[in-house]
Amino acid sequence: MIPTRILASLVGFACRRPGLVLFGALLLAAGAMLYVSRNIQMSSDASALISQKVPWRAAEHRMDQAFPAGGDTTLVVIDGQTPELAEAAAASLTGRLAQDKRHFRSVTRPDGGAFFAREGLLFASPAEVQETTARMIAAQPILGPLASDPSLRGVAGALDTMLLGVTSGQATLDRLEPAMGKLADSLEAQAAGRPGFFSWQALIQSGKGTLAAPTRRLVMIRPVLNYGDLTPGVAASDAIRAAAQTLHLDAEHGVTVRLTGTVPLSDEEFASLADHWWVVAGAMVAAMLGTLWLATRSLRVTATILLSTVMGLIVTTALGLAAVGRLNLISVAFIPLFVGLGVDFGIQLAVRFQAERHGGADRATAITEAAVRLGPALLLAAGAVCLGFLAFLPTDYQGIAELGVIASMGMIVALLFSVTALPALLMLLRPGNPRAEVENPALAPVDAFLIHRRRLVLGGFVVALVISIALLPFVRFDFDPLHLRARDGEAVSTIYDLMKDPDRSPNTVDILTSDVAAAKALAARLDMLPEVGRTLTVASFVPEDQAPKLQTIADANTILDLTLNPIETLPPPSDADIATALAKTAASLRAAPGSGQPATDARRLAAQFDRLAKASPADRARATAMLVPPLQTMLGQLRDSLSAQPVTLADLPLEVRADWIGLHGEGHVQVVPKAAYADGDGLKRFTRAVLAVAPGATGPAISMQGAARTIAGAFVEAGVLALVIVTLLLYLALRDIREVVLTLAPVVLSGFLTLGTCVLIGQPINFANIIAFPLLFGIGVAFHIYFVMAWRSGATNLLQSSLARAIFFSAMATGTAFGSLWLSHHPGTASMGKVLMLSLVWTLICALIFEPALLGPPGKAKA
């Protein structure tokens, strides 16, 4: 064979001119390293991994064109101990971040801000508006004193005013009981050194209805991203946390600030990948070095394999960058693929070299003989693996297609360095003669058993195959990207927390329509689906039945205007004024008539007011900080809610219109699932129902499931194509369909056995560990080609041969090295390590047990 002669010539030249060859290899590697250092680019943009031609990606693209302000976002979730704390925190953080144009493109409040503060009541029903305004009016006796004196003195004075009504018999103490109890609780907590928080909502309503502001607020941020960094949004996230710290938005002050959304989720994932990376890397290197030494029993031979592999990896990286421009989150996996298969070529040659050396050959003769004997198998294995990776090119999964391009070039590079740099290094490093023979005669009984009891062995594998096929329907494909991330991370735990609230479910569907009218009509149709919780369009932000609600609000404003906006307000009190007011109100609380819990709470509050009246100014200042800012927030909310005006589409704020009306007047419909359909199989039913009505829908729910289908389909498509191409290549090389079957059958068997094992141990197939199957195919094809080529040349006792030793340690090197990924703190990477280990174990078993039994006694040697 001409290619084999070329390989032998290359090896021979490397043996004659090792210094020149090594100098050329080092020069090439140095040039490649220079190119890599100047051109290395790494994109962490996950949206670029799948072709724009896929229907769901095309729908995404159309939505992005109509709404260019969209894209990757950071969602700030603010939880307050009280509604006032949550609102004040959201308002202050939004104001601070909006000034930072370096880190943020836009900062908006999807559930708050000036518009919703003013028009919020209009989104309630007429009955709810009546109830809410009636409660405001009923609270007028306490609101007036608080508005005219928003201080701790004013708080004490407002209570004292209401107690006058209780003393005169015009009211009962029961009316004040909720406020007194909660105020006493807060002051007692502060006195005990614990954080105390108080909500003024308790004074004007029961905590239900439209005015009851939530204790959770959201801030939507579109950060400036650096896709050249593995964590492109980390600078923006750090800026958010720094602003929150400056504003004292922390647990001590009754507020928690958490980040989630597409940007923090992605950044957090890469942070978990980097967490304790040195443990994984150390285990990988140690496993690789240890296995190589066990295979060759020579530090110098081990060094030759490692050096030639590293040089080949550098050259492959340069070629990959030249071919695809930049690496992505998937194509970077060419590194483990290259190392796994490149080391295999080196081990095959090195072990054969050691066997020839043990037989008495000199170094040049030993390496040349190894290349001649292994050349056809190495060439065929490299060609088969190369074509197998190229089978990903026609798929819509661009990330894996680019991986296929780089990995296929890597196979050629690995083979060339194995027959040039490796022989040159062996000649220059001058490893000594092996002290023990490389072959293993102790395995003679096993060889004999596999031949003489081959039907029994094959029968056992057939049973295992049948069981694995029976288990295939139970293979679980989990393509939810959240399940690849550590659940204890802030971004992931927060998104799971949000998913408990159906109104804030992140698994929504977005639909682009021709205009606003079409959006409204489509939303009406979708609202009829049983799986749909609610729909939103720009029309959703224009309240219905505005006239009667505006009249009710206007009437309440007439009554409460001077109460909430007094003509004169009292000047700020001195500390002495506050102490006097507290002592006076304490006395009124003790004197108030009543019994039961109201009386108990009145006495408790009196004790706290007395304590504060006698305490230090610092203690009164702390009480002021706890009570007065939330009071001012509540009064501001009341004033805003009573200033509602008629709302039309033209009156909507720019940030609202930008989210719901496209650049050219397109409409945006967002569909939220009911709680029962927010995840799992229910979410699939929800998306199917929406797509039946709106085939061009997109959004997180559609994209997640679309990505799963695209990726799974790409692997199936590439797998079938690879099998066909490799089959044709093997037939052209072997010219015997039986030998082609003998080569590929163990590969298929190991795949079934791996899937069956995954079912038994409860391991789903996901975005990360599915990459194990191309590696299984590549290494499996190579291993079985080695055996079939040896068998067809008349070799016997395959398990005792140096070939079996090389295959065993090659699998061990790859398996233990990449099995160390199992140690990763990143769940996706850990599952990749687990499945890689399982697949390589089954590949090794099929190669060393099933293949010899399947081949049987060698026939007549073929040329």
pLDDT, position 88? 92
Alpha-carbon 440 to chain mean position: 48
pLDDT, position 389? 84
Query: How far is 775 from 388, CA to CA, in rounded Å?
Result: 10
Which residue has tokens 């006796």?
141
pLDDT, position 300? 92
Query: How far is 475 from 688, CA to CA, in rounded Å?
Result: 22
Alpha-carbon 585 to chain mean position: 56
Task: Report DSSP state, residue 257.
Answer: E
CATH number of the domain located at residue range(s) 2-48+271-481+705-855 in this protein: 1.20.1640.10
Alpha-carbon 119 to chain mean position: 37
Write the CA distances from 403 to 98, 120, 338, 581, 774, integer angstroms: 40, 52, 11, 75, 11
pLDDT, position 203? 62
Comparing C-alpha atoms, which of 29, 23, 40 is closest to residue 311? Answer: 29
For the record, the structure tokens of 824 come out as 């990763």
pLDDT, position 210? 46
Contact between 404 and 320 (Cβ < 8 Å)? no
Phi first, then psi: what are they for 214, rounded to 5°?
-75, 160
Sign of the CA dihedral with 295 first, then 300, 301, and 303 last: positive
Which ranges constitute the DSSP H helices of 297-362? 299-324, 334-358
Comparing C-alpha atoms, which of 121, 158, 148, 137 is closest to residue 557? Answer: 137
pLDDT, position 209? 47
Query: How far is 511 from 687, CA to CA, in rounded Å?
Result: 12
Phi first, then psi: what are they for 857, rounded to 5°?
-60, 145
3-state secondary structure of 436: coil
pLDDT, position 226? 80
3-state secondary structure of 614: helix
Beta-carbon contacts of 762 under 8 Å, excluding residues fewer than 6 positions away, are none
Quote the pTM value: 0.75
Query: How far is 390 from 491, CA to CA, in rounded Å?
Result: 37
Measured between alpha carbons, how far apart are the two ends of the chain, in Å? 9
Contact between 271 and 305 (Cβ < 8 Å)? no
Q: Where are the domains of the chain?
A: 2-48+271-481+705-855, 74-259+543-644
Comparing C-alpha atoms, which of 508, 634, 523 is closest to residue 82? Answer: 634
* pLDDT tens digits, 258-275: 999 888 887 877 766 566
In degrees, to the nearest 5, what angle opens at C-alpha 152 toward C-alphas 150 and 157?
80
Using DSSP bridges, classify how beta strands 216-223 and 74-80 pair: parallel, antiparallel or unpaired.
antiparallel
Task: Report DSSP state, residue 847.
Answer: I
For the record, the structure tokens of 476 come out as 């679980």
3-state secondary structure of 219: strand
Which residue type is seen at 371?
A
Alpha-carbon 149 to chain mean position: 51
Which residue type is seen at 310?
V
Using DSSP bridges, classify how beta strands 509-513 and 667-673 pair: parallel, antiparallel or unpaired.
antiparallel
* pLDDT tens digits, 61-107: 899 889 886 667 899 999 999 899 999 999 999 999 999 999 999 89
Question: Which regions of the chain are under pLDDT 70?
Answer: 1-4, 43-47, 69-71, 202-213, 227-228, 230, 271-281, 329, 435-438, 502-503, 775, 817-820, 859-863
